[in-house]
Amino acid sequence: MKEILINNALTFLLLLTAFVGVFLQAAWDFPRNLLGVPLNLLPPLMVFAAFRTGVTTISLLAGLGGLFTDALSANPLGVSMLPLLWVGLAIHHWRELILQEFAYARFIVGLIASAAVPLLTLMIIMTLGKRTLAGWAFVWQWVIMALTGGLLTPLSFWLLDGAAGRLVPSPVIRPSFRPDREIKRGRY
């Protein structure tokens, strides 16, 4: 029962964080003006979802997060869903082999995920025959998005684990001694 509550709380928390994160990355101009690149918060969230939840939550996050991103960007609608899903499923498949409790491992996985999602998205856009602005500026943006995604991944683990722990109530532990039981003393 507690695992279902935790999974539902994490799913709700991830989808809400994805919605707010995509809105903030579109509305908040400070990182874009400072680095020349908007922060991409979905790959770190996808890494967290792949480590902590199941395929259903990964699919929901990829679908809704991709739609949220594409609705506020110049991408064709739905093009970001598939790269997020691929990255999430790949990490979920190999999660038993990754040292997920160490911050440096989370950084590396977040860096790889944040580097893979834009490249896969660009590949899909080019496959569709759409015109892109890919050039040397894209390489700079890609490197910065990968590094910031890698840095945001351990931070997202810390924040989301803490928030999920507060959302799910702790179980009531009942002592093994019941005060209403009768203790019979005697030889047998």
- Cα–Cα distance for residue pair 145/136, rounded to 1 Å: 14
DSSP letter (8 states) at residue 79:
T
Q: What is the pLDDT of residues 27-62, one digit of tens each?
A: 888 877 787 788 889 999 999 999 988 899 999 999
Q: 97 and 34 in contact (C-beta within 8 Å)?
A: no
pLDDT at 1 over 60: no
Q: What is the pLDDT of residues 134-151, one digit of tens each?
A: 778 788 888 999 999 999
Mean pLDDT, residues 79-90 taken together = 93
pTM to 2 decimals? 0.82
Q: What is the pLDDT of residues 176-186, one digit of tens each?
A: 666 676 667 77
Please provide the average confidence, as pLDDT, over all residues in the chain.
85
Q: Identify the pLDDT of residue 89.
A: 94
Nearest Cα residue to 54 out of 23, 97, 10, 114: 10
Q: Identify the pLDDT of residue 185.
A: 73
Q: 114 and 40 in contact (C-beta within 8 Å)?
A: yes
Q: Identify the pLDDT of residue 172.
A: 64
DSSP letter (8 states) at residue 183:
-
Residue 108, phi-psi category: left (phi > 0), alpha (psi -120 to 50), beta (remainder): alpha
Least confident range from 8-12, 17-21, 60-64, 158-162: namely 8-12
pLDDT at 5 over 70: no
Q: 144 and 36 in contact (C-beta within 8 Å)?
A: yes
